[in-house]
Each structure stands twice: as structure tokens, then as C-alpha cells.
Amino acid sequence: MKFACIVFPGSNCDIDMYHAIKDELGEEVEYVWHDATNLDEFDGILLPGGFSYGDYLRSGAIARFSNVMTAIKEAAEAGKPILGVCNGFQILLEAGLLPGAMRRNEKLKFKCEQVELRVENNSTMFTSGYELEQVITIPIAHGEGNYYCDEQTLTRLIDNNQIVFKYYGTNPNGSLADIAGIVNEQGNVLGMMPHPERAVDELLGSADGLKLFQSIVKQWRLSANVVTS
């Protein structure tokens, strides 16, 4: 499987994402600059964390106008897996690929710590490797991770089983309904604030994030009828 790791001016988690895919997952990955207009050669798209365009206006508000976003929307419509982490999640929200918005953390402080998440939906292409309601440990590092949406949108997210991860035990940022990650209705676009790419080896404090990437590859191979030895 071949991944595109999108790099915006101000991205700073692209190297972490690249390492997770190439060295821990053992799959192909390439850095793709934000001015790219075609992603047809890639099977999956990764939007890493950071501070795209310095987070001016709002986090992700300028990145949504980058040339590559048109290609990302086309990939989403084609059913390719798209993962946006932290700033990548914010960009997906600003681009309308996921519903809702991101606000400043409840106490207006940057949070960088390990958190526990509960798997709310393990039937997605991103979470099939987990057990339903499994509690996993994944780090966060953000100042604007307070997810919000209106009541009608929240009801739709619940009814469609689009809430994939919730903060477990302690909500670090005030996110509505403890939401840490959601998918689109089609189920192929995931946005999450915690960083699974920073939890792919026990040396990092947790390897719980690796199953997310393994799930993507497994489901892609099943859908593409790829035979492995």
C-alpha cells in the first residue's frame, strides 16, 4: 500500500507519520508538498499535525485552500482512506470533509500528555484491529482540540455511529461528548486529535496506535483483493 504524507508550510509531525508508515508498518510512503494537484498514484492519504500556515485565522483555515485539497476531496469521493491527525483533523473540518469545528482548549492551555481513548466503533477501516470499547493509550499535543458541533450534527454523528474515539476517564480539552475522533458518513475519512503515529512502539510509551495503521492496510488489501504471503 502506498501512502501520501501531505506537507503544508508549518507541518511538524510529517516525519513522525513517515516513520510510522515506513519503519513500523513497512509500507510505502512519500512526502507530498501542498501544491500537488494529483494524488492518483496513492492508495491512502495522511494529513499530519503541526501548525499549517502558522494557524493564522484559525487552525487549518488557510490550508483548506491549498491546491492539494482538491485532490484530497477527489480521493475521499473515490473511497480512499484519509487520516487527519491533530492539525490534519482541523484541516478536514475546515475543508468540510468532516462535520463540526475545533475551538481552543477549555482552559486555553496547550496540552501535551498521554491520554486514554475508548474505541466507540471498531467496524471502520481504521479501527477493525481493535476491540469495541477497548481502552488505548495515545498522546495528544494541541491547543485547539475542543471539538464542537451543533445538536443536530451530534445526533447525526451518534445515529450514524461516526464517533470512533472518545476520551476515557479525563477529557483533556473540553471536547463535546468527549469526542476525540470521528469519521465521515462513508467511513473512509477519519479525523482525530490524538497522535497514533506517536504510539507505534513501546519505546515511545505505547504501541496502541500501530493497530490503526495496520487496520487501514488490512482493509485496503481486502477491498483490493491483494494476496500476501
Q: State the catalytic residue, choosing from 27, 94, 120, 197.
A: 197
Average pLDDT over every residue of 2-8 = 98
Of 101, 40, 99, which is closest to residue 75 (Cα–Cα)?
Answer: 40
In sequence order, the 6+-apart residues with CB closer than 8 A to the CB of 164 are 119, 120, 121, 124, 126, 127, 181, 182, 183, 190, 192
Let me know if 197 is a catalytic residue: yes
Question: What pLDDT, on the 0 to 100 scale, is given for residue 226?
Answer: 64
Let me know if 34 is a catalytic residue: no
pTM of the model: 0.95
Q: State the catalytic residue, choosing from 5, 120, 144, 195.
A: 195
Question: What pLDDT, on the 0 to 100 scale, is given for residue 57?
Answer: 84
Let me know if 86 is a catalytic residue: yes
Is residue 39 predicted with pLDDT exceeding 60? yes
Q: State the catalytic residue, choosing from 86, 94, 120, 142.
A: 86
Of 204, 178, 220, which is closest to residue 81 (Cα–Cα)?
Answer: 220
Give the domain ranges of the chain.
2-224
Written as one string, the DSSP assignment of 125-147 is TTTTTSPTT-EEEEEEEES--EE
Question: What pLDDT, on the 0 to 100 scale, is given for residue 223?
Answer: 86
Average pLDDT over every residue of 52-75 = 94
Query: Per-residue pLDDT tens for 183-225?
Result: 999 999 999 999 999 999 999 999 999 999 999 999 999 987 7
Give the sign of the dihedral formed by CA 215, CA 155, CA 185, CA 8.
negative
Query: Per-residue pLDDT tens for 10-35?
Result: 999 999 999 999 999 999 999 999 99
Burial class (CB in 10 A: 0-12, 13-18, 19+), 153: middle
Question: What pLDDT, on the 0 to 100 scale, is given for residue 229?
Answer: 46
Q: What's the mean per-residue pLDDT of the chain?
A: 96
> Superfamily for 2-224?
Class I glutamine amidotransferase (GATase) domain (3.40.50.880)
Reported confidence tier of residue 228, pLDDT bands at 50, 70, 90: low
Is residue 172 predicted with pLDDT exceeding 70? yes
